[in-house]
Structures are given as structure tokens and as C-alpha cells.
């Protein structure tokens, strides 16, 4: 595959990578208040770059939280309009001591670029910008189709601001389809489109016992222990095989079609290889009777992410804490809804409250599950573009993760999303030593160029 824009991208690959490294050096951790300035700095840098490459109406949109970055170029009369979405915020880097090189000092190793946000999502978001630059630079300052760009800085903290913007200003994002590059390829060199996402509800259970922290010697045996209470609750949310015990939890599920299940069975996937190379636990766990791909793509789950409270330092502190919290999330699949599932969960957790404590169940954020049809012109054009760049047929997968904005685009803009991602399964998303395979960064740019050229024909 070759075109002036693709040739341009190849000739500029070293500069493109340097620019990405500069972005990755800024710790735009959206969940930590002390990084608020860093998040804004990245927004400003992206706005400047969008202006430089030729986008119009570039704007940093204030939200009350972290800002949105908007830009458009709408002069390709008669051609479709693409809404390019990406997020420039990143997950916290902890645990810091498990990084081989510092999370905010991008480092090349074995053909990969290691840094927090390398693949999720700064690297993949930046592919869009560099594809647009390549097209502008070789097209007399024009693009083959119309483009709007919307970038957010709150994806890792629930994406409330962009959700509100989409809901309240759908006319400003009017497009025929959206392009999101925040997913992964099923295997190296296997071009992949993601056509299904799990939803999620992220919650906190707070348990309060005594009014203040008490000495476990003086009071142990008479006073409720919030951690023991939480353990009793959590142990009743799932059975030992991993089945979730919340009454009604599984009722609304629409299983995948027989065609989809057959396609998944044909994918190059070996559960033991996955366990050994990606996971590393002694065994895999989860609902009996379902394959790993079904369990992670098409079945709901429940996980505990942390249990703040009490004493977590080194050595011994003999405290019965006044309160403790469990951070619990559930992943949802079609047609479970966030509101109904949270109501079922909350009422079940409340029914499990042990004696002697008070309990509060809080919803932190949520997003609906989604399945995208494969019979639309944008998915077809994407398949064609991927074939031309990668020389292989595209596989259609789902992702166990959640990208709530895709549901918002469907609901409020009535447009489908093409989820064209170039991460790899071992990219360590949300974990130490996150990386982006450098070749995928460059071929991702070429793929987006080819996709836009295909749609502009």
C-alpha cells in the first residue's frame, strides 16, 4: 500500500515518535488533583498541534472538570464526516516500584515504547492527528473527508464532562460515524475491529462500626470490625466458582449469536498460553461453562479493586478501624442496564449487612454495554483499509473493557463507531510497564490514512 500521505507518514516517522514522547512526559493523571495542571498542559499542547496541522475552529472547551479539545475541518462537500475521538488523560502509575523505567520517561526497549499512556490512549489518539497531518500535507491543505476531532481528559475518571457535552450539544459533533482508537488487536499483525464493549458500574461500599478507631486489645471481641463485615459481604457476592449471586443479575443478558460464537472459536487463542503469558496466575478463574473469550467479552463480572481504611503501612498497628471501604465494579453486557443492575446490587448488598455496622453503597460512575453491527459502510471501508495496510482479513472481536462514549455517540448522535485499535494483548494497560509496539503506532497512522482515503474516494 502506498499513497503520497502514507509516504509522508513514513518519511516523518522519527519526528512523529519524538512528538509522542513529549506528550507522554507530561503526567496527565486525571484522577489525582495534584496533576490537574498537567492534564491542562496536554490539552493546550494538542490544541496547538491541531491548529498547526491545518484543523479549524480549534477550541479548548471548559467543562468544570478537565477540558475538552475540539477542532474541525468541514470542506469536503459530499463526503462523509468522521468524528475522531481520543482521550489524553492517563491512569495513575502506581505501584511505582514495579516499573522497569519511570512511567513518565518514555523509553524504547525491544521495539516498544514504555510509558504510562503509551497505548491508552495518548499513543492511539495521536495516530489520528498524525494521519490528519499526513493527509493535509500531501493534499494541498485539504482532507479527503470531513473531520471533527473531540479529545477528552476524563476518560479514566468516568468521562462525565464529555458525556454531558454530547448530550447537551449534539449539533456540535454532528457526523456520520465516529472513529475511536482505544482498543487492541486480537494478536500481533492481525487487523482487528472491535464491535462490542462491556458496560460497567463502579461502586464503593462503605461500612462504619465504632465512632472512632479503637484499640483491638481493649475492644476486640465486643466491637464490630468493618473489614470483617466487608469480607462477609464480598464473600456472598460471588460463589467459589465465580458465579455472581446478586438475584436477577443475569436475567437481561442477550447471548452472542451462533455466528459470532463460531467466529470467536476460529480465533487464534489458546487458554493455557493466555494464562502463562498474559496472566501468570496458577489457574484461570471464572464462570464454569464459558470459554475465556465468552467470560471476558460476553459475560458480566464483579471485581474488587482496593479496600481503603485501617492501617496499611509496614508492621503492626492494632486498630479496629471506625470505617472501611471496598471499591467494587461490575462489567455489564447487552442488554443489562446500569441503573437496574446498580439497583439490584445495592439492594442485595444492603440485605447482607452484618449486625453492628452501618453501610452505604455509592455509585461512582457507569456506562452501558454496546454491540455495533458490522453491516455499515464505515466498518466495510475500515476492513478494506486494514486489508490494504496489513495484507490480511480483519477479525471482529468484542472487548471486555468499557468505552462509555461509544454508547453516548449511539444514543445522542445516532451514529455508529468504528473501533480501530492497535494495542496488543500484552501492552499492560492500567498496569506497570504499559507500552505501545512502535511498529503499530506507525502502521496505525497508515491505517487511518488509508481508511480516510477509502471513504473520500
Identify residues 238-297 at the interface with its own copies (CB under 8 A): 238, 240, 242, 274, 278-287, 292, 295-296
- Candidates 75-83, 104-112, 154-162, 370-378; binding stretch for its own copies (CB under 8 A): 154-162
What are φ and ψ of residue 124, in 5° steps?
-75, -35
Q: Which three cell numbers stand for residue 40?
A: 491542562
342-371 positions binding its own copies, by CB under 8 A: 354-358, 364-365
Query: Cell for 74?
Result: 468541514
Tell me the angle at which helices 438-456 and 122-138 cross, rounded to the nearest 10 degrees: 50
Q: Is 289 helix (H, G, I), strand (E, B) or coil?
A: coil
32 touching its own copies, by CB under 8 A: yes
Q: For residues 37 and 65, what is the distance between their CA atoms, to the nearest angstrom? A: 12
Q: Which of 327, 340, 387, 411 binds its own copies (CB under 8 A)?
A: 327
Other CB atoms within 10 A of residue 180 CB: 25
Q: Which of residues 159-198 bind its own copies (CB under 8 A)?
A: 184, 198
Residue of 64, 78, 217, 288 that binds its own copies (CB under 8 A):
217
Q: Is 220 in the site for its own copies (CB under 8 A)?
A: yes
Q: How far apart are CA 133 and CA 47, in angstroms?
A: 14
Tell me the C-alpha distance between 204 and 195, whole Å: 30
Give the residue, chosen from 66, 299, 435, 437, that forms a contact with its own copies under the rule CB under 8 A.
299
User: Which residue among 14, 77, 100, 316 contacts its own copies (CB under 8 A)?
Assistant: 316
Q: What is the DSSP letter of 411?
A: I
Under the criterion CB under 8 A, does residue 36 sit at the interface with its own copies?
no
Stretch (H or E) spanning 151: strand 146-152
* Cβ(49)–Cβ(131) below 8 Å: no
| Residue 293, all three cell numbers | 473469550
Instruction: For the CB of residue 168, give the shortest distance to its own copies in the complex, in Å.
Output: 23
Provide the minimum distance between the beta carbon of 215 and its own copies in the complex, in angstroms, as a whole number.
4
Nearer to its own copies, 21 or 327 (CB): 327
Among 22, 187, 218, 245, binds its own copies (CB under 8 A): 218
| Cβ-based nearer residue to its own copies, 134 or 181 | 181
Specify burial of residue 274 (Cβ count, 10 A radius: 0-12, 13-18, 19+).
Answer: middle
Cell 501468570 sits on residue: 280
211 interacts with its own copies by CB under 8 A: yes
Residue (80 or 423) nearer to its own copies, CB = 423
Closest approach of Cβ 445 to its own copies, in Å?
24
Classify 157 as helix, strand or coil.
Answer: helix
Q: Which of 223, 252, 261, 263 binds its own copies (CB under 8 A)?
A: 223
- For its own copies, the binding residue among 130, 331, 346, 435 (CB under 8 A) is 331
- Tell me the per-residue interface mask from 81 to 120 with its own copies, x by CB under 8 A, - otherwise: ----------xx-xx--x----------------------
Piece of the chain touching its own copies by CB under 8 A; list 111-119, 173-181, 222-230, 442-450: 222-230
Q: What is the number of residues in the chain?
A: 457
Least spacing, CB of residue 315 vs its own copies, in Å: 5
Q: Is 55 left (phi over 0), alpha (psi -120 to 50) or beta?
A: beta
- Among residues 164 and 219, whose Cβ is nearest to its own copies? 219
Applying CB under 8 A, the span of 41-49, 143-151, 306-314, 378-386 interacting with its own copies comes to 306-314
Choose among 389, 378, 394: nearest CA to 263.
394
Q: In whole angstroms, give the CA distance from residue 434 to residue 93.
A: 9
Minimum distance from residue 261 beta carbon to its own copies (Å): 16
Task: Select the residue interacting with its own copies from 57, 75, 167, 305 (CB under 8 A).
Answer: 305
d(CA 85, CA 69): 10
CB of 184 to its own copies, least distance (A): 8
For its own copies, which is the closer residue by CB, 28 or 402?
A: 402
> Is-contact 93 116, C-beta < 8 A?
yes
208 forms bridges with which residues in the sheet?
323, 358
> Can you say how many angstroms the Cα of residue 313 is from the centroid of all Cα atoms in its chain?
31
Amino acid at each position: 500500500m502506498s499513497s503520497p500521505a502514507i509516504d509522508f507518514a513514513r518519511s516523518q516517522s522519527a519526528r512523529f515518535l519524538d512528538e509522542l514522547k513529549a506528550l507522554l512526559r507530561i503526567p496527565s493523571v486525571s484522577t489525582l488533583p495534584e496533576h490537574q495542571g498537567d492534564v491542562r498542559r496536554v490539552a493546550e499542547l494538542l490544541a496547538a498541534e491541531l491548529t498547526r496541522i491545518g484543523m479549524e475552529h480549534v477550541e479548548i472547551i471548559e467543562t468544570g472538570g478537565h477540558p475538552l479539545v475540539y477542532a474541525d475541518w468541514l470542506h469536503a462537500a459530499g463526503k462523509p464526516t468522521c468524528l475522531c475521538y481520543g482521550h489524553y488523560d492517563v491512569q495513575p502509575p502506581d505501584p511505582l516500584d514495579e516499573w522497569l523505567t519511570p512511567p513518565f520517561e518514555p523509553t524504547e526497549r525491544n521495539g516498544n515504547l514504555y510509558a504510562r499512556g503509551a497505548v491508552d490512549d495518548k499513543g492511539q489518539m495521536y495516530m489520528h492527528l498524525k494521519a490528519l497531518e499526513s493527509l493535509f500535507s500531501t493534499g494541498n491543505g485539504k482532507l479527503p473527508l470531513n473531520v471533527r476531532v473531540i479529545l477528552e481528559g476524563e476518560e479514566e475518571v468516568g468521562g462525565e464532562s464529555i458525556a454531558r457535552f454530547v448530550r447537551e450539544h449534539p449539533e456540535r459533533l454532528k457526523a456520520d460515524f465516529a472513529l475511536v482508537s482505544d482498543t487492541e488487536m486480537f494478536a500481533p499483525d492481525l487487523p482487528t475491529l472491535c464491535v462490542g464493549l462491556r458496560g460497567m458500574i463502579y461502586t464503593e461500599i462503605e461500612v462504619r462500626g465504632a465512632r472512632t478507631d479503637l484499640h483491638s486489645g481493649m475492644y476486640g471481641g465486643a466491637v464490630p470490625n468493618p473489614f470483617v463485615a466487608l469480607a462477609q459481604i464480598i464473600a456472598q457476592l460471588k460463589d467459589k466458582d465465580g458465579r455472581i449471586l446478586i438475584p436477577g443479575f443475569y436475567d437481561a443478558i442477550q447471548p452472542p449469536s451462533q455466528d459470532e460464537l463460531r467466529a470467536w472459536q476460529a480465533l487464534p487463542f489458546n487458554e493455557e498460553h493466555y494464562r502463562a503469558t498474559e496472566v501468570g496466575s496458577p489457574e484461570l478463574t471464572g464462570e464454569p461453562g464459558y470459554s475465556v473469550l465468552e467470560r471476558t467479552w460476553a459475560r458480566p463480572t464483579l471485581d474488587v479493586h482496593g479496600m481503603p481504611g485501617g492501617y496499611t503501612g509496614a508492621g503492626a498497628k492494632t486498630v479496629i478501624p471506625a470505617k472501611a471501604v471496598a471499591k467494587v465494579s461490575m462489567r455489564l453486557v447487552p442488554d443489562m442496564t446500569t441503573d437496574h443492575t446498580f439497583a439490584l446490587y445495592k439492594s442485595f448488598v444492603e440485605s447482607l449487612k452484618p449486625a453492628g455496622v452501618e453501610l452505604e453503597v455509592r455509585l461512582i460512575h457507569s456506562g452501558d454495554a454496546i454491540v455495533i453491527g458490522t453491516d455499515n459502510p464505515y466498518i466495510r471501508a475500515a476492513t478494506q483499509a486494514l486489508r490494504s495496510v496489513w495484507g490480511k482479513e480483519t477479525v471482529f472481536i468484542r472487548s471486555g473493557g468499557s468505552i462509555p462514549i461509544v454508547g453516548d455517540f449511539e444514543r445522542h448522535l445516532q451514529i455508529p463507531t468504528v473501533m480501530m485499535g492497535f494495542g496488543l494483548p500484552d501492552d499492560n494497560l492500567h498496569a506497570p510497564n504499559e507500552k505501545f509496539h512502535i511498529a503499530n503506532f506507525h502502521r496505525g497512522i497508515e491505517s487511518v490514512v488509508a481508511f480516510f482515503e477509502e471513504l473520500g474516494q
